[in-house]
Amino acid sequence: MTIRILIADDHPVFRFGLKALLSTEPDMQVVGEATSGTEAVTMAYSLTPDVILMDINMPEMNGIEATTQILQEIPGMAILILTMMDDDSLFSVMQAGARGYLLKGAQGEETLRAIRAVAGGEAIFSPKIAQRLSLFFTNHSNFQSVTPFPELTLREREILELVSKGLTNNAIAERLSLSPKTVRNQVSTIFSKLQVTSRGEAIARARTRSK
């Protein structure tokens, strides 16, 4: 079976190198190249590839938002994040539903193995990323105790935690690789669920619940 692949990355040199790598594999075929998150969404719908190789930092719409939109319409789509970002965007990627997270510095064989894995329904992370995951879940009780709001989603609790630390919507958007509009909408949803009308009230609720 041939794995049909869509590359979504705004760096032409990286796309060229990746396409050259994939062209040597008889079971892989690049069916499209997107240069923005918006293009990635459009091409995912029209081409329905088996695997999307998605960068995070792209114009118009970042890779996390593109992943979220694609999986809302095509829940079974296999999306593998290929990025230079070794930070907490990992957790946003998991929340969005991507099947894997690989750093762009990975060796060619590691990249090919990851593509075949996600195409086969597996979840895969590079060793460095897997270590971050292990450390996070080892200490996840600390995160949950800060914002133990069962009525909120994981993303909403994450945003509430940042609100309670005094971050603005723009700062939260930058931290989580989201658009400011998405953060504003999420904050409004949080206020509604917590039945508060201001950031101050939300912060007070968060601090009271964490005691």
* Contact predicate 96/67, CB 8 Å: yes
Nearest CA-CA partner of 155 in 181, 207, 190 = 190
Tokens of 45: 């719908």
For CATH 3.40.50.2300, list the domain ranges present in the chain: 3-135
Which residues make up the CATH 1.10.10.10 domain(s) of the chain? 141-209
For domain 141-209, the CATH class is mainly alpha
Domain 3-135: give its CATH code: 3.40.50.2300
Report pLDDT digits (tens) over 115-159.
999 999 888 876 666 665 655 555 554 444 444 577 777 788 888
Q: What are phi and psi of 30, to 5 degrees?
A: -80, 115
* Whether the predicted model's global pTM rises above the 0.95 cut: no
Q: What is the pLDDT of residues 48-101, one digit of tens each?
A: 999 999 998 898 888 988 998 998 889 889 999 998 865 556 777 777 788 888
Q: Which residues, listed in sequence order, are joined to residue 151 by a DSSP beta bridge? A: none
